[in-house]
């Protein structure tokens, strides 16, 4: 009996030990290990029966003290990732020769980020007459059971928004019809707003600079203060007191702050716009612990091959946030489409491994490569394109910035950061220009750095992105620029294009860009001074790329979004996203560890287990 009890106890103790070892091994996943062997073989599988991993035909052996990231525990073996000969590898090593680093997790630090939200528009109103409501501004009637929906005079509605269509103002309204809430549109002059008790969530502004009149008529005299006619600037805030409808349309009697005093007068209703109330709060952000970060990466569905680089970045910069941008595209399909001859280019001076020899890119009989842009830009090889498309190659302190979201961040983007990017360029600190400020009717002198910082605020585009793009596109040396911004290009004197917008590939792309900059009226064109070109160009990038989903340097270069996929790519230089990322990193200086920067990292379907290798031979990066 005693023997049997001892046997049972022994079995229990053995099971406890095995369980504890299992827990300890499981806990090793996601940890860092240090090699404790003179030379540790890395194998292709978990066991000595598997061959040793190869690099350029040689065995991969890790010297004593090498650091590895433990991805998975397999009995007495670890699946690890590590850097070897400046490349990232994954393989298997014996757990016996790897010492786990003890990790003492400090209490999470907290920083604060400014978060802006907008309250919805909600203004009570009543119809002034019987009115058919529209499905859209100036569109067709809203239909219910084959009949046009008509509201009677004095019907209560809620104004939720405002649209300008063919010079007329339309209100988006919400109302109930046949027992159900519905949304439609009416002309602004068909309803009367309840101005006695306006919703606190609504702000009224003037949509453009406008004269204030004494009475509700265009023939009425302008209001004067100290003998000077009153004209409100665009976006000036006003308070609506009452409204009048005349033959000329609807007018509002408004009050406003002018020369530090409250004044009143009349403004035509089509100059008044309803704006959502802006609310700004300071939101606390805590850094994730290592365990929380591991769980977060799993939630984001980052593949295992991404995790070593992300772990290293998280340790160095705990407030950085990484989201997975799942393209839902097969890696092979994306690479095939981006490898079309002439789509991605690099200089002809690069080694042969970098350049394409596909038909149309290379003439075997002459040994010459086809030039697609300027005098020396040739088609990149599939290997070069794969290297720059594989986001795992750039989970580094500088490379990661090609995945930074490119919206304006007032909390941590500054003119000083812009200056860091533009050091040793013609736009460096102290370099200014003078232009005619139409709004002030006077000359204004401003530094290039401050103009770019202002442009970021106006366009809501990262000024660091603007500065990096300018450096990439038009800077030739410490005191030299391309003709895109010299203002001296033959046929386009006094025209500037800081981002080379419209500079399509061809024999004279700069002229193409300046032609675009000199024509049209959108985005502050014509760009006949540097300020218009800097700020207007940023607005163009914001509207046509960032707010359409191409909101990182990577996606501007490799458009793998659902819209205009593989086309509508800002730059043909295959290295552009990375080189701009390097410049953007410079902007942030040494304070990156307390910035909640958000990165959107592309992930493809069925990516190869090992990262795409860099081409051999001479290259820039």
Q: What is the pLDDT of residues 487-508, one digit of tens each?
A: 998 889 999 999 999 887 566 8
pLDDT of 118 strictly over 80: no
Average predicted confidence (pLDDT) for the chain: 85
What is the predicted pLDDT for the residue at 24? 43
If one compares 56 and 336, the residue with the highest pLDDT of the two is: 336
Q: 79-97: per-residue pLDDT in tens? A: 988 888 878 888 999 999 9
What are the pLDDT digits (tens) for 141-167?
999 999 999 999 999 999 988 888 877
Which alpha helices (DSSP H) does 288-440 contain, by range? 290-299, 307-316, 331-338, 382-389, 415-421
pLDDT for residue 304 is more than 60 = yes
This prediction has a pTM of 0.58
How far apart CA 139 and CA 357 sit, in angstroms, is 55
Q: What is the pLDDT of residues 501-529, one digit of tens each?
A: 988 756 688 898 999 999 888 899 999 99
pLDDT digits (tens, 9 = 90+) for 171-212: 999 999 998 999 999 998 899 888 776 544 466 778 888 899
Find the range with the poorest average confidence among 495-504, 559-568, 584-593: 584-593
* Contact yes or no for 464/417 (Cβ under 8 A): yes
HSE-CB for 490 with a 13 A CA cutoff = 1
Q: Give the residues across from 173 on adjacent strands.
A: 159, 184
Quick one: pLDDT at residue 51? 93
- Can you give the pLDDT at residue 174? 94
pLDDT score, position 575: 93
Cα–Cα dist 122/308, whole Å: 49
pLDDT the model gives residue 200: 46
pLDDT tier at 287, thresholds 50, 70, 90: confident
Residue 508: the pLDDT is: 81
- What fold does the segment set 2-100 form as a domain? SH3 type barrels. (2.30.30)
Would you list the DSSP string of 194-251?
--SS--TTEEEEESS-EE-BSSSSTTSPBPEETTEE-EEPTT-EEEEEEEEEETTEEE
Q: 237-248 b/e with 16+ CB inside 10 Å = b?
A: ebbbeebeeeee
Q: Are both 2-100 and 201-276 of the same fold?
A: yes
Mention the CATH class of domain 120-197.
Answer: mainly beta
* 313-343: pLDDT as tens digits: 998 888 888 999 999 999 999 999 999 999 9
C-alpha separations of 289 from 73, 104, 107, 421 in Å: 21, 10, 8, 32
- Residue 347 makes CB contacts below 8 A (sequence gap 6+) with 376, 377, 378, 620
pLDDT at 11: 38
**What gap in Å lies between CA 400 and CA 390, rounded to an integer?**
12
Q: What value does the mean pLDDT take over residues 111-117?
A: 64
The pLDDT of residue 115 is above 90 = no
Average pLDDT over residues 445-467: 92
Q: By 3-state DSSP, what share of the chain in percent is helix, strand and coil, each rounded to 5?
A: 25, 35, 40
Residue 119: CA count within 13 A, CB half-sphere: 13
pLDDT: is 28 or 5 the higher one? 28
User: pLDDT value at position 274?
Assistant: 80
Please report the pLDDT score of residue 10 as a whole number. Answer: 42
Residue ranges of domains in the chain = 2-100, 120-197, 201-276, 304-405+552-621, 413-548
pLDDT at residue 19 in the model? 41
Predicted confidence (pLDDT) at residue 2 exceeds the cutoff of 70: no
Residue with tokens 């605020």: 457
Assign 72 a pLDDT band (cuts: 50, 70, 90). Answer: confident
Residue-wise pLDDT for 223-273, tens only, equals 998 888 999 888 888 888 888 888 778 888 988 888 878 889 999 888 888
Q: What is the pLDDT of residues 350-381, one digit of tens each?
A: 999 999 999 999 999 999 999 988 788 999 99
DSSP per residue, 120-151? PP-EEEEESS-EE-BSSTT-PBPEETTEE-EE
pLDDT at residue 127 greater than cutoff 80: yes
Burial 254-276 (b: 16+ CB within 10 A, else e): bebebeeeeeebbbbbbbbebee
Among candidate residues 273, 213, 210, the one with its CA nearest the CA of residue 244: 213
> Measured between alpha carbons, how far is 503 from 540 in angstroms, rounded to an integer?
14
With 70 as the cut, is the pLDDT of residue 103 above it?
A: no
- Examine the pLDDT at 584 and tell me if it is beyond 60: yes
> For 566-573, what is the mean pLDDT?
87
What is the DSSP annotation of 409-421?
A: -TTT--HHHHHHH
pLDDT band at 27 (very low <50, low <70, confident <90, very high): low
Instruction: Please give the pLDDT value at position 39.
Output: 92
Pick the CATH number of 201-276 from 2.30.30.40, 3.20.20.70, 3.40.640.10, 3.30.2090.10: 2.30.30.40
């Amino acid at each position: 009996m005693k023997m049997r009890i001892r046997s049972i106890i022994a079995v229990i103790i053995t099971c406890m030990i095995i369980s504890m070892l299992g827990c300890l091994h499981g806990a090793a996943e996601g940890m860092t290990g240090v090699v404790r062997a003179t030379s540790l073989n890395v194998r292709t599988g978990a066991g000595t029966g598997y061959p040793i991993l190869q690099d350029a035909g040689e065995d991969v052996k890790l010297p004593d003290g090498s650091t590895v990231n433990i991805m998975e525990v397999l009995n007495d073996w670890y699946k690890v990732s590590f850097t070897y000969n400046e490349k990232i590898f994954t393989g298997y090593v014996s757990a016996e020769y790897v010492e786990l680093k003890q990790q003492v997790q400090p209490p999470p630090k907290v920083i604060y980020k400014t978060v802006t939200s907008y309250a919805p528009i909600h203004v009570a109103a009543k119809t002034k007459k019987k009115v058919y409501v529209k499905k859209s501004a100036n569109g067709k009637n809203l239909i219910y059971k084959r009949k046009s929906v008509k509201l009677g005079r004095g019907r209560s509605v809620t104004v939720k928004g405002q649209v300008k269509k063919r010079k007329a103002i339309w209100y988006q309204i919400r109302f109930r019809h046949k027992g159900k809430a519905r949304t439609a549109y009416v002309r602004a002059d068909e309803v009367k707003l309840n101005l006695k008790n306006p919703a606190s969530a609504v702000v009224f502004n003037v949509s453009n600079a406008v004269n204030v009149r004494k009475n509700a008529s265009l023939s009425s005299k302008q209001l004067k203060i100290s003998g000077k006619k009153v004209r409100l600037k665009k976006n000036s805030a006003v308070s609506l007191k009452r409204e009048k409808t005349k033959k000329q349309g609807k007018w509002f009697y408004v009050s406003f702050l002018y020369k530090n005093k409250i004044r009143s007068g009349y403004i035509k209703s089509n100059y008044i716009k309803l704006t959502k109330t802006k609310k700004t709060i300071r939101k606390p952000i805590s850094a994730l612990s290592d365990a929380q970060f591991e769980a977060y990466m799993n939630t984001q569905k980052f593949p295992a091959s991404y995790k070593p680089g992300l772990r290293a970045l998280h340790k160095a910069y705990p407030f950085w946030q990484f989201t997975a941008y799942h393209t839902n595209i097969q890696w092979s399909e994306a690479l095939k489409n981006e490898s079309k001859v002439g789509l991605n280019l690099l200089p002809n001076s690069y080694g042969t491994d970098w350049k394409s020899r596909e038909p149309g890119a290379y003439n075997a009989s002459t040994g010459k490569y086809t030039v697609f842009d300027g005098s020396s830009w040739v088609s990149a090889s599939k290997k070069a394109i794969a290297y720059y498309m594989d986001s795992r190659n750039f989970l580094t302190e500088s490379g990661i910035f090609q995945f930074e979201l490119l919206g304006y961040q007032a909390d941590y983007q500054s003119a000083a950061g812009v200056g860091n990017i533009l050091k040793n360029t013609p736009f460096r600190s102290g370099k200014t220009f003078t232009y005619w400020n139409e709004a002030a009717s006077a000359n204004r002198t401003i530094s290039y750095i401050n103009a770019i910082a202002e442009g970021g605020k106006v366009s809501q585009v990262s000024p660091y992105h603007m500065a990096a793009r300018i450096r990439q596109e038009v800077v030739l040396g410490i005191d030299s620029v391309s003709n895109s911004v010299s203002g001296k290009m033959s046929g386009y004197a006094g025209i500037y294009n800081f981002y080379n917008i419209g500079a399509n590939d061809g024999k004279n792309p700069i002229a193409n860009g300046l032609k675009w900059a000199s024509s049209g009226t959108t985005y502050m064109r014509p760009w006949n001074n540097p300020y218009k070109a800097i700020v207007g160009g940023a607005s163009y990038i914001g509207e046509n790329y960032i707010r359409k989903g191409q909101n990182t340097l990577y996606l501007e270069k490799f458009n793998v979004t659902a819209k205009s996929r593989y086309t509508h790519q800002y730059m043909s230089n295959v290295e552009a996203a990375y080189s701009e990322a390097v410049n953007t990193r410079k902007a942030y200086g040494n304070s990156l560890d307390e910035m909640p920067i958000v990165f959107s990292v592309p992930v493809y379907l069925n990516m190869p287990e090992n990262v795409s290798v860099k081409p051999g031979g001479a290259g820039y990066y």
